[in-house]
Amino acid sequence: MSSGGADKKVGMALPSANGGMGGSGGISAGAHLVGGELYSRIADYFQEHLVSDLDEMESSSGEDLLRCYAAVWERYTQGANFVHRLLIYLNRHWVKHEREEGHTDVYTIYTLALIQWKRFVFDPLQAHRKITIAILEQIHNQRDGAVIQSSLLKTVLDSFVALGIDESDATRQNLDVYRIEFQQAFLDATADYYLAESTSFVANHSAIDYMKKAEARLMEEEDRVDLYLQPTSRSALEEVCREQLVAKHSEMLWAQFKSLLDNELITDLGRLYGLLVQIPNGLNPLRDQFQAHVRDEGLDRVARIMEETPDQIDPAKYVETLLRVYDRNMQIVDTCFQNEAGMIAALDKACRVFMNENQATGSSASKSPELLSKYADSLLKKSNKISEETSLEAALDQIMVVFKFIEDRDMFQKFYAKFLARRLVTFASVSSDAEESMIAKLKEVSGFEYTNKFQRMFTEIGLCRELNDRFRDFRANQAHANSIDFYALVLANGIWPLQAPTTNFSIPTELQGIYDSFKEFYGSQHSRRVVTWLWHLSSNDIHTSYLPRKHIFQTSTYQCAVLLLFNTQSVLTFDEIASATRLDASALKIALVPLVKSKVLHELDDSYSLNMGMYSTTDLDFKSKKVRVNLQMPVRAEQKAESNEVMKNVEEDRKMLLQATIVRIMKARKTLRHNLLIPEVIIQVQSRFQPKVPDIKKAIDALIEREFLQRVEGEKDV
């Protein structure tokens, strides 16, 4: 084995039987004695060799010490490995026998070489921590931007690992030397370095610049582990760096968050999140700020569209505004916050606030469900402006985004059912596939019971087709059948949210024949069924012949009855029309207003006449480029009354649901305290609406009054 310079050589030969070296005589003292003497001489040889190398290393320091140490270590371990393989017989037999006899201070030759290195080189040098200090100086220089030889540090630190020998079990290796002699000192130096650097940098640079600096430093330390540190150092090093670079400046970083959000600095938001996610509770303040930001943005956007149309808000514009706020902030969560669960929860909480109560809704949580259902109605009508089926499907998916944040889902259900029924009875649905798709989406979120009636409506529409086919066959066999094209929808009262007419009505003579014919047909098939005719929901197509160009007027049956009067009369007063149609004043006004507004009828004082296009002022004449003219324009008062009716029905349904829920809970529990019953009720009904505690108390009182419940004597709260 050679040591030091190339001119320094050390020879070694196996000991002879008489104690000398070399020779070919027999072993007189026995194999055991020879093995022990050989082992002892090898140990002495390692010691002598290392003592001669120690002088050169002790006279060096800094990088020179590391270079010398690494060079000697590599030569020594290479030679020790050669000797180990040369004496493999000694390792397999004598060393093994000695260790089996309990001599734990006997090692294989290579392990012996490492132990001698630790005793005669490493420990003397580390008495004053010369090697550790030299390594830390190199790392400090590298952090300051100097170029160092990383492979040199890796060689030295690998020797720390190799020297971690378990003397009780030479086959085991540990990192005790690495941890004790280097790692802790390294972590302390790292903490001091980054504390000083970060404090100075923050004082002289912006928060955004500091985030970039901290991010770069953390990446550097990750690379340092890969270059020359042990992988086991990674977690401890990360913890120290996060503490000094992030945790100690977290308040400054939290304060910067709102400014980054307001200015939509996406890259910097992602960088801020990447830093704070690394420390305990680092994201909690961000979640709170993000929730407040989204809530305020949503409220502000709705307030802006209310300024544009203060009298009546457009459902499409309202829902699209809510979606823009959600989509924008969801993109931030996805891009900047890596879809972190807490950030998603903060977004959801904020959306639940501004989507249910804002300037458009006031304090009423029922307005958003109404506007959302109206928007869905506009999309699912034939008159929508969406041409592609894929675009319509995407729009329906967007509706469900808002729907999942709506608290009063029972209110949406009532409005949706009403609009669905109207689309079906007026044949205004864009397609059956679109309707089925929307119902499937609602079912997925709210369950089968929520959409049960919607599905049954479709079933009945299919049955009505069969009914009308049979009626056409019936009419074909009647000699007096007229040419009116007639289609009837016979709908079950308990499924369809359709109200009976509130006014009398005299069927026009022109429709009387087909009316009597259908009554006869249906009565012959279902003799015991009571049929209520919903004239206010039926519609008619009337062909004109009095105008220069032929048109088809699409009217309600009430409007049809009014217009048919002008086949025989040129001028009629309001009272005369009311008497002929038997409509009450409010229903008649609702029918007349669109006719006058569209200039089909001319109104003068209390009289009405058919507008024949004979006036000198051309803007009084009826004009339309379309052949088919829809005269069933909704009246705002009628729409408001319809909304009030739906809300009234919902309130009644809620009372019944609360009472049914209370009874169901009490059947299971038998006895329950008042303050435990209320939260139990809230949990069970909140999927449909958010109940108010006073309403629950009223439901309890109503059930006690009707003797469904009773209070325990002496305990009024039970």
Domain boundaries, the chain: 31-174, 197-276, 539-633, 639-705
pLDDT at 483 > cutoff 80: no
The model's confidence at residue 5, banded by pLDDT at 50, 70 and 90, is very low
- CA torsion sign, 252 to 258 to 260 to 261? positive
Average pLDDT over residues 25-43: 67
Taking the C-alpha atoms of residue 383 and residue 440, their distance in angstroms, rounded to an integer, is 22
Nearest to 553 by CA among 564, 25, 323: 564
Mean pLDDT of the chain: 86
In the chain, pLDDT over 70 holds for what percent of residues? 91
* β-strand partners of 540: 555
Residues 6+ apart with CB under 8 A from 262: 293
Reported confidence tier of residue 18, pLDDT bands at 50, 70, 90:
very low
- Extract long-range pairs of 635-641: CB within 8 Å, 24+ residues apart: 635/590, 635/593, 635/594, 636/312, 637/590, 638/590
Domain 539-633, CATH: 3.30.230.130
Residues in the chain: 718
Decide: helix, strand or coil at residue 394.
Answer: helix
Inter-helix orientation angle 31-58/109-117, to 10°: 30
**Whether 552 contacts 543, CB under 8 Å:** yes
Predicted confidence (pLDDT) per residue in 108-150, tens digit: 888 889 999 999 999 999 988 999 999 999 999 999 999 999 9
Q: For 477-486, 544-553, 587-596, 684-693, which range has the lowest pLDDT when averaged over its residues?
A: 477-486
Give the pLDDT of residue 439: 93
Q: 627 with 552: CB under 8 angstroms?
A: yes
Of the candidate ranges 451-465, 547-561, 612-626, the one whose mean pLDDT is the lowest: 612-626
The predicted-structure confidence for 267-324, as pLDDT tens digits, reads as follows 999 999 999 999 999 999 999 999 999 999 999 999 999 888 777 788 999 999 999 9
Q: Please, are residues 688 and 653 in contact by the beta-carbon 8 Å criterion?
A: no
Res. 597: pLDDT tops 60 = yes
| Mean pLDDT along residues 663-682 | 87
Cα dihedral 666, 672, 678, 682 in deg (nearest 10):
-50
Region of poorest pLDDT, from 156-160, 303-307, 360-364, 494-498:
360-364
Q: Comparing C-alpha atoms, which of 1, 173, 172, 169 is closest to residue 85? A: 1
- Tell me what pLDDT residue 352 has: 93
Correct CATH for 639-705 of 1.10.10.10, 3.10.520.10, 3.40.50.10680, 3.30.500.10: 1.10.10.10
Q: Counting beta carbons within 10 angstroms of the beta carbon of residue 675, is it exposed (0 to 12), middle (13 to 18) or buried (19 or more)?
A: exposed
Q: Give ∠ CA 97-99-100 in degrees, rounded to 5.
A: 65
pLDDT of residue 168: 60
Q: What is the DSSP letter of 529?
A: -
Report pLDDT for 559.
93
> Cβ distance 347 to 286 under 8 Å?
no
What is the rounded CA–CA span in Å between residue 6 and residue 4?
7
Coil vs helix vs strand at 327? helix
- Cα–Cα distance for residue pair 225/157, rounded to 1 Å: 12
| Gap between the Cα atoms of 245 and 314, Å rounded | 51
What's the CA gap between 115 and 132, in Å, rounded?
Answer: 19
Encode pLDDT of 361-389 as tens digits.
Answer: 887 778 899 999 999 999 999 888 776 76
pLDDT at residue 14, as a whole number: 36
Paired tokens of 431 = 């397609």
> What are the structure tokens assigned to 266, written together?
């996406």
pLDDT band at 15 (very low <50, low <70, confident <90, very high): very low
Please check the confidence at residue 476 and state whether its pLDDT lies above 90.
Answer: no
Task: State in words which class domain 31-174 has.
Answer: mainly alpha
What pTM was estimated for this model as a whole?
0.76
Q: What is the mean pLDDT of residues 55-72?
A: 90
Query: Which tens digit of pLDDT belongs to each residue from 395-414?
Result: 999 999 999 999 888 889 98
Q: How far apart are CA 23 and CA 17, in angstroms?
A: 8
Token pair, residue 295, equals 């809530």
What is the DSSP secondary-structure string of 135-182?
HHHHHHHHHTT----HHHHHHHHHHHHHT-B-TT-TT-B-SHHHIIII
Mean pLDDT of 430-450: 91
Separation of alpha carbons 339 and 348, rounded Å = 12
* Each residue's pLDDT tens digit, 186-229: 999 999 999 999 999 999 999 999 999 999 999 999 999 999 99
Q: Which of 15-19, 646-650, 713-717 has the highest mean pLDDT?
A: 713-717
**Residue of 548 and 244 predicted with greater confidence:** 244
pLDDT at 8: 37
Distance (Å, whole) CA 326 – CA 328: 6
Homologous superfamily assigned to 197-276 = Cullin Repeats (1.20.1310.10)
Burial class (CB in 10 A: 0-12, 13-18, 19+), 469: exposed
In this prediction, residue 641 carries a pLDDT of 63
Which residues are within 8 A (CB) of 176 and not within 5 positions of it... i.e. 6 or more apart? 164
Q: Is the pLDDT of residue 432 over 60?
A: yes
Task: Give, for 198, the enclosing helix (H) or strand (E).
Answer: helix 184-204
Q: Do domains 31-174 and 197-276 have the same CATH topology?
A: yes
Q: Do residues 286 and 258 touch, judged by C-beta distance below 8 A?
A: no
